[in-house]
Amino acid sequence: MSEPITVLIADDHGVVREGLRAMLEREGFQVVAEATTGREAIELVAIHRPRVALLDIRMPDLDGLQALAAMK
């Protein structure tokens, strides 16, 4: 059996993160971290090294596009 795809979820709304986590885990993905800001997402990607990062476009601190550029 293959290992699950690891995912980071970054969104400043808790209910959105909870919903995404529930849907992803139900489908066999492994959510390894959740962030509430773009800067936090960058830090957590460096620590957890997820294969996929789901980023909200509008977040405090850095938006999802700025965070993505920093992650690359």
pTM of the prediction?
Answer: 0.92
Domain presence at residue 27: yes
| The pLDDT value given to residue 60 | 84
| The pLDDT value given to residue 58 | 92
Pick out the chain residues at pLDDT < 70. 1
Domain presence at residue 29: yes
Domain presence at residue 1: no
How many helices (H) and strands (E) the chain has is answered by: 3, 3
User: What average pLDDT does the structure give for the chain?
Assistant: 95
Domain presence at residue 36: yes
4: amino acid identity, one letter: P
For the chain, the domain total comes to: 1
Percent of the chain with pLDDT over 90: 89
Q: What is the pLDDT of residues 15-28, one digit of tens each?
A: 999 999 999 999 99
| The pLDDT value given to residue 43 | 97
Domain that holds residue 10: 6-71
Residue 12's domain is classified under what CATH number?
A: 3.40.50.2300
- For the stretch 39-51, what's the b/e string if a residue is b when 16 or more beta carbons lie within 10 angstroms of its beta carbon? bbbbebbeeeebe
